[in-house]
């Protein structure tokens, strides 16, 4: 058996065994590993399940002239049991396919889900939304866009069975959505709160 070792300057992970558990829309692996401890040395062998989700892009589309944010509304299986329903307001988002750069995906997904590309695109940062059990890494972008005639239009990639309604939301209403807890998607919360802080800095 070959032990896979991942090292940084301060930490080490020894992967003893990888076992595929499930492969379909999502992939799940069972991994046996040891990792370095803060007190020194290595942990005993532990077992963890890891959902392999790949990398994704999220795009915060903002119209600075009208001070509106372009959101998309769609069905989400993860919110199936939510008391307010399974249709969530979100930022434009999509998976990075092999050979694509995050910037390319940001523009493609804006076309597919919002019906229009941003005329500027700024990289904000990257994050793991659920690192306790999922490998997904998300790249967040801010894009300035002309939002005229986008509100209530329908969009989405047919081959991906997407059924999307575009919502152009004035900034005061966005803040109401944030304050009332009606934004339930984590990436959307991160993006909108980032823009909120940016606007506050510019006001000073």
* Spans of all domains in the chain: 4-52, 55-203
- The pLDDT confidence band at residue 124, using thresholds 50, 70 and 90, is very high
Could you tell me which residues are beta bridge partners of residue 20?
29
Instruction: Tell me what pLDDT residue 202 has.
Output: 83
Task: Tell which CATH architecture fits domain 55-203.
Answer: Alpha-Beta Complex (3.90)
Residue 26 pLDDT class (50, 70, 90 cuts): confident
How far apart CA 108 and CA 38 sit, in angstroms, is 43
* Residues known to be catalytic: 160
Q: Is 0.75 surpassed by the pTM of this model?
A: yes
């Amino acid at each position: 058996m070959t032990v896979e070792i991942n090292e940084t300057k301060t930490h080490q992970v020894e992967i003893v065994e990888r076992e595929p558990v499930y492969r379909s829309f999502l992939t799940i692996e069972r991994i046996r590993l040891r990792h370095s401890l803060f007190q020194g040395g290595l942990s005993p062998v532990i077992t963890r399940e890891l959902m392999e989700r790949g990398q994704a892009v999220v795009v915060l589309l903002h119209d600075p002239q009208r001070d509106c944010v372009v959101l998309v509304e769609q069905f989400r299986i993860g919110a199936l049991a939510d008391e307010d329903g399974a249709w969530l307001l979100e930022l434009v988002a999509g998976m990075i396919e092999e050979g694509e750069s995050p910037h390319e995906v940001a523009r493609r997904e804006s076309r597919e889900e919002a019906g229009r590309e941003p005329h500027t695109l700024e990289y904000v940062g990257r994050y793991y939304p659920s690192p306790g059990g999922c490998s997904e890494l998300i790249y967040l972008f801010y894009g300035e866009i002309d939002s005229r005639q986008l509100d209530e239009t329908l969009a989405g990639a047919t081959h991906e069975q997407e059924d999307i309604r575009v919502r152009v939301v004035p900034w005061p209403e966005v803040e109401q959505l944030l304050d009332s807890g009606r934004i339930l998607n984590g990436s959307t919360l991160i993006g909108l709160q980032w823009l909120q802080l940016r606007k506050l800095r510019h006001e000073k």
